[in-house]
Amino acid sequence: MRTKYLKTLNKNGQLFYQLEHPKFHAEISQFGGQLISFKDESGVEWIWLSSSAKLDGSAPIRGGAPICWPWFGPAQDNSLPQHGYARRLPWQLLDCEGDDERVRIRFSCQLDQAPIDLSNLSLIIEYVLGDDITINLHTENLTEKTLNLSQAIHTYFNISDIYQCKLIGFEQINYEDKLASKSGVHKHPLSISYPVDRVYLDAIEKIEICTDESHFVVSGSGYDSVVLWNPWKEGAEAMGDFDNDGFAHMICVEMANTQGLQVGSHDSHTLTQQIKRI
Ligand SMILES: O=P(O)(O)OC[C@H]1O[C@H](O)[C@H](O)[C@@H](O)[C@@H]1O
């Protein structure tokens, strides 16, 4: 079912779903099934997208809210791509319904197009968009074996100035620092002025991303970790699809399962990220 709020657009041979609702405007790419824009009713963009992101299906989209699945980070077999296949596959629209308050839209990942066997798994994403954003990622295991999974909703938040950004919620949580290959914990809200790539090993209930202009509150369910990433200047410059100054306007806060999630045979799991702006 389609609503009056939904339009489709073809660009570079790719399909994009545009939602134009009195409370928000949003765009979702069929490739990767990922949200690439969400503007609230005052026109403020919540989601960062690199202006040099590839939007032609040739590579994962740099920005938005990519889905890392069925693994997060490097694959055990290093011939397979980082962060799995979901962000590299087309997704099929299942349904879309809406009213004056919100729109709910669902897509199914076309796992049969993956170069590895993901048959008898189902991956569905549901966006509920209105005054805020809810992303539900449903994995269903229809095989006879337990599925070992890692995953993340890898949201790039659009912020005015990383130098003014304060992150609240990570205090006292053990983290693994991927850049320094060490673990740690910090006592105070975090301000960053250097590359950060950390996995905080807890289902932190609430993260706040505060700048002078924006205050995002991020929560969810079904995760065991929260990943924090900003490549900083040199890291951004080293990536062909990352605006050189983009690091100053984004921060990734990712609800993730990194500690060995198991989905039993004929069982399912839902990972949720909710984003509010206050
Ligand atoms: O460049 P990508 O494959 O999109 O990954 C971007 C980043 O994703 C996560 O945040 C990881 O923790 C980082 O190690 C990685 O660099």
pLDDT tens column, 143-163: 999 999 999 999 999 999 999
Q: How confident is the model at residue 73 (pLDDT cuts 50, 70, 90)?
A: very high
CA of 159 to the centre of ligand 1 (A): 19
From 83, 198, 250, mutation site for ligand 1 pocket: most ligand atoms within 8 A of C-beta: 83
Q: Report the candidate in 45, 49, 60 with the shortest Cα–Cα distance to residue 14.
A: 60
Half-sphere exposure at residue 189, Cβ-oriented, CA atoms within 13 angstroms: 12
Q: Go through the domains of the chain in sequence order and give each one's CATH number.
A: 6-277 (2.70.98.10)
Q: Identify the residues whose C-beta falls under 6 Å from ligand 1.
A: 60, 73, 82-83, 178, 197, 227, 229, 252
Give the tens place of pLDDT for each residue, 53-68: 999 999 999 999 999 9
From 154, 228, 229, mutation site for ligand 1 pocket: most ligand atoms within 8 A of C-beta: 229
**Which ligand 1 atom is at minimum distance from the Cα of 229?**
10
**Which ligand 1 atom is at minimum distance from the Cα of 239?**
1
105 vs 94: CA distance, rounded Å: 8
Verdict on whether the full-model pTM lies above 0.95: yes
- Structure confidence at residue 1 (pLDDT): 64
Instruction: Give burial (CB, 10 Å; 0-12/13-18/19+) of 51.
Output: exposed
* Mean pLDDT for the stretch of residues 259-263: 98
What does pLDDT average to over the chain? 97
Beta bridge partners of 29: 16
- Residue 168 above 80 pLDDT? yes
Q: How confident is the model at residue 12 (pLDDT cuts 50, 70, 90)?
A: confident
* Mean pLDDT for the stretch of residues 261-276: 98
124 vs 126: CA distance, rounded Å: 7
* Mean pLDDT for the stretch of residues 179-197: 95
Q: Does residue 154 carry a catalytic annotation?
A: yes
Query: Which residue has the least CA distance to atom 6 on ligand 1?
Result: 229
**DSSP helix/strand/coil, 114:** coil
Share of the chain above pLDDT 90, in %: 98
Q: Which residue has the tokens 């062909």?
A: 240
Mark residue 221 as left, alpha or beta (left: phi above 0; alpha: psi -120 to 50; beta: remaining). beta
> What single string gives the DSSP state of each residue in 18-68?
EEEETTEEEEEESBTT-EEEEEETT--B-B-B-TT---SSSS--SBS--EE
Query: Which residue has the least CA distance to atom 13 on ligand 1?
Result: 197
* Mean pLDDT for the stretch of residues 199-210: 98
- Structure confidence at residue 2 (pLDDT): 77
- Residue 133 above 70 pLDDT? yes
